[in-house]
Chains A and B, each alone.
Chain A
Amino acid sequence: MKRTFLGEFEEIVLLTVAILGEEAYGVTVTQELEQKTGRSVGFSTVHTTLQRLEEKGFLASQMGGATAERGGRRKRFFTVTAAGRKALVEVKQVREELWGALPPQTLQLMGG
């Protein structure tokens, strides 16, 4: 019964990390989010969300890929864990079930 709750923003960040694959770290996630959602996303928000997702066990991370542009500092690359994948799938299922339960006429009214 005890299931870790995945917030809306967390869900999007988790998805983005999954999309980015090998290249997911703070900067790329922030930029990707801004481009895909069109909304201005603060780096600090993304950073804390990534930390939180890691604490919850949905993400794993390792250090690497220092560049001159970063003043020689390493990046923290994130990858989605099995639990993360499971959580994403669950969310997707819930969504689909809900959409499926929508009466057809309502669906039409919404332009879908």
Chain B
Amino acid sequence: MGLRNTTPTPPRWVRTLLRWWADPNTSEEVEGDLLELYNYWVAAVGERSANWKYTLNAIKLLRPLAKDKRAHYPRTYLYSPTMIRNYFKIAFRNLLKHKGYSFINVAGLAMGMAVAMLIGLWVWDEVSYNKQFGNYDRIVQVMQHQTFDGQVNTQMANPYLMGEEIRNKYGNDFKYIVMSSWTNGHILAYGDKKLTKTGNYFEPSITEMLSLQMLKGSRAGLNDVNSILLSESAAKAYFGSEDPMGKVMKIDNKNDVKVTGVYKDLPYNSDFKDLTFLLPWSLYLSSQSWIKEMTNPWRSNFTQTYAMLAEHADIDQVSAKIKDVKLHKVRPEERAFKPVVFLHPMRKWHLFSEFKDGVNIGGRIEFVWLFGIIGGFVLLLACINFMNLSTARSEKRAKEVGVRKAVGSVRGQLINQFLSESLLVTLIALGVAILLVQLALPMFNEVADKKMVILWQEPLFWLSAIGFTVLTGIIAGSYPAFYLSSFRPVQVLKGTFRVGRFASVPRKVLVTVQFTVSVALMIGTIVVFQQIDFAKKRPAGYAVDKLLFVPISTPDLANKYEVVRNDLLKTGAIAEVSESSSPITSVWAINNGYSWKGKDPGIQGNFAAVSATHEFGKTIGWELKEGRDFSREFPTDSTAMILNETAVKFMGLKKPVGEIVKIDDKVFHVIGVVKDMVMQSPYQPVFRTSFVLDYKDVSIINIKINATTSTSDALAKIETVFRKHNPAAPFEYQFIDEEYAKKFTDEVRIGKLATFFAILAIFISCLGLFGLASFVAEQRTKEIGIRKVLGASVSNLWGLLSKEFVILVVVACVIAGPITWYGMNNWIQKFDYHTEISWWVFVFTAILAVGIALLTVSFQAIKAAMINPVKSLKSE
């Protein structure tokens, strides 16, 4: 305790508080009043109470956030509703006064946003693939790597005993293990109604694994061997409003099955979307009698294995644990294939489905990135436009800034005004964009094979859309907001104000960026189409025209082949008919165990194997290089073999005709060599292939229509024949030329999308250029007038106005060239059979880009140059 003062004083800290935080306009009298009152209180109620009252009153007077201490005058309120209403009014008037610019601005931005939104939806759809399944995190597919001649192949197909073996040995690590066949079309019949529906055979616990939502029946519906579960849509297709439960249907005209349940259709963006019905695995085993008769069941891989991990089981650990499960079961001589079993998690099924040398190297994720980046670029282009135009236009409003400041606006108000104006435009653009997306979605869904909708209920969608809009608005509005608002009103109003020499530099840079992106996209598109064209021009090795095949779907058809063939030929519309194990546009079987004279013992020798009937070659129109085709004249042809050129090269045979080739212990003699045929990917080298005669191991009928008969006539006749001989199945066929075209689907799709984006990019860029050019022309009206008076010609002026833009585009081409060359060269290297990027692509694109830019600018330039100088000079 120190010495006490004789007169009490109020607490010092309260006074400090007052000085800092109370209203500075009244601080003097408040402090005085309080002091006077304090003395009065000390006298009336004592020092303690006086201190207390003083503090309480002082604290009540603090207004920490209300007012700025520095201001001597009351400050202008930045967010007064009247002013905000005024900003919007002015913004609308500005928009309406310059309809052309407003249209370009809003349309360009809206288009960019719409495209970005569509791509965003697509990416979202891709990324959320399979995610609707409740057990998404724990579902896996059991797959295997095998090594053939030093090359590691990765496959989904497993021996049919795989599930059983894993269950017995490692059952603890899994909750469910489900064996299945493949999701294929089957003929499903109820009464007279016969339709081909896609479905698959599964072990019963698939229903639990996929958490099927049962509308009727229970998830135990697959326990009985003769049962079937239908999807909601399939049930509707067969039974309409009738109750499907307990009805008996016929599958592939062989087995009767009873409907034991109906499940809700599986989500469209999932790998199980095509499952319109489920059949029990036990039915598959009992209906395919050959399975039980297999002498070496661990050799054939023909089924799939799905599984769901037990809780807390780690996928990598379990994967490592089961890796040798097959190796231990195969025969010693098959160990050379080094089967490594592993688990592929559901979250990687869709986007990371490709393997190379036993390592997951991605897959569709590349497209997700590619389109994501392109979408980003298109959006960037649109934003650049928006910024360029709005900053260019804003310079015209310097006078408005001057007047506003003279009348009393403070800088903050002007900043608010310009920002809210640009936000208004971006928000309008967002509205238009959402409308555009809504309109374009059905078409886009068709192209992309998706069922996407706008994610109205997804907060992320709104967050990113609005977040992006606001960001664009603020960035585009920041130049006028912060730069123009700093003008000195006197200078601006006197007219001595000049925009700096370098004000247009950022604009020029942005235009260059725009055209760089556009040119790069154009070059990319051309290269993609060149590559497709290159692969399309590759000789197929067979005649794809008027060739079709019909699957042998029922035993009836298999037994009656000769009758069917004769009836078909009798119609006169058919040139040739034959059977084969697979359509010529694909390879279904690759077999091992080939041996021949001079075979290097180090290689295993696997070949693509096709079995066919005598007339196969004639039907598909292959070209013989050496020897002869199969012939009914030679009974010995039952052991004949025809090889393709690659096979002969691979085997190192000098004179292939007459050589002996053994498959396991069966002996074949080579009778001919055919030219290589494109059966698999047109971008890869042709695989070594052998053709042998076999009337049993066939699954399709190939039909070649007469060159002179029209396809529709012939189809009608073919259908009649099949209706007669195969009444149990619907008549189904596929054209080889369509199948062949499917080989290019992916690349054609990329090409189409790239074209779309390239055109869009060019369009948006030109839109911006158009706006800028007209702005520049307007700015230089007087200059042009004077030049004209002094004798400049229209072409002189046209050159003057166009030059600076053309230079920018040329610079863009120079930048885009090397970048695109590098990127596209990487892309085409992916294909073994690829085109070379030639120099003319770059020259052509550059000329095209400059041409388009020139055309865009010229319109404005010539318009400006044609104006009568009297008009442009007399104003003011």
Contact = CB atoms under 8 A, between A and B. Distances in A.
A63 interface: yes
Given A27-B40, A42-B56, A47 B31 contact: no
Interface string B225-260: 000000000000000000000000000000000000
A44 B60 contact: yes
B561 to A, nearest CB: 101
Contact of B35 (A42, A47, A71, A74): A71
B57 A43 contact: yes
Interface stretch (B22-30, B566-574, B710-718): B22-30
A47 B40 contact: no
Interface string A40-59: 00111101100100000000
A63 B28 contact: yes
Given A51-B26, A76-B26, A43 B37 contact: yes
A39 interface: no
Interface string A11-31: 000000000000001110011
B32 interface: yes
Contacts of A69: 35-36, 39
The CB with the most chain A CB atoms within 10 A, among B30, B36, B39, is that of B36
A75 interface: yes
A26 B33 contact: yes
A50 B34 CA distance: 15
Contacts of A47: 26, 30, 33, 61
Contacts of B37: 26-27, 30, 43
Contacts of A66: 32
A73 to B, nearest CB: 3
Contacts of A74: 28-29, 32
B57 A27 contact: no
Nearest to B62: A44
Contact of B33 (A27, A42, A45, A51): A27
A27 B762 CA distance: 76
A27 B61 contact: no
Given A43-B57, A44-B61, A63 B36 contact: no
A31 B40 contact: yes
Given A27-B40, A43-B37, A73 B56 contact: no
Interface in B499-544: none
B56 A63 contact: no
Nearest to A76: B29
B62 to A, nearest CB: 9
Interface string B59-86: 0110000000000000000000000000
A75 B32 CA distance: 7
B196 to A, nearest CB: 80
B77 to A, nearest CB: 14
A69 B56 CA distance: 21
A70 interface: yes
A106 B39 CA distance: 48
A73 B57 contact: no
Given A30-B37, A43-B34, A75 B26 contact: no
Nearest to B54: A43
Contacts of A63: 28-29
A40 B450 CA distance: 75
Interface in B141-168: none
A29 B635 CA distance: 131
The CB with the most chain A CB atoms within 10 A, among B30, B39, B40, is that of B30
A47 B28 CA distance: 13
B40 A73 contact: no
A77 to B, nearest CB: 9
Contacts of A73: 28-29, 31-32, 35
Contacts of B40: 27, 31
Nearest to B25: A51
A47 B39 CA distance: 18
A60 to B, nearest CB: 14
B30 A26 contact: yes
A51 B30 CA distance: 11
Contacts of A76: 26, 28-29
The CB with the most chain A CB atoms within 10 A, among B26, B33, B35, B56, is that of B33
Contacts of B31: 71, 73
A42 B32 contact: no
Given A26-B33, A43-B33, A47-B26, 5 more contacts: A70-B36, A73-B28, A74-B29, A74-B32, A75-B33
Interface of B: 26, 28-37, 39-40, 56-58, 60-61
Closest 3 CB pairs of A and B: A73-B32, A44-B60, A26-B33
13 contacts: A25-B33, A26-B37, A30-B37, A42-B56, A44-B56, A51-B26, A63-B29, A69-B36, A70-B36, A73-B28, A74-B28, A74-B29, A76-B28
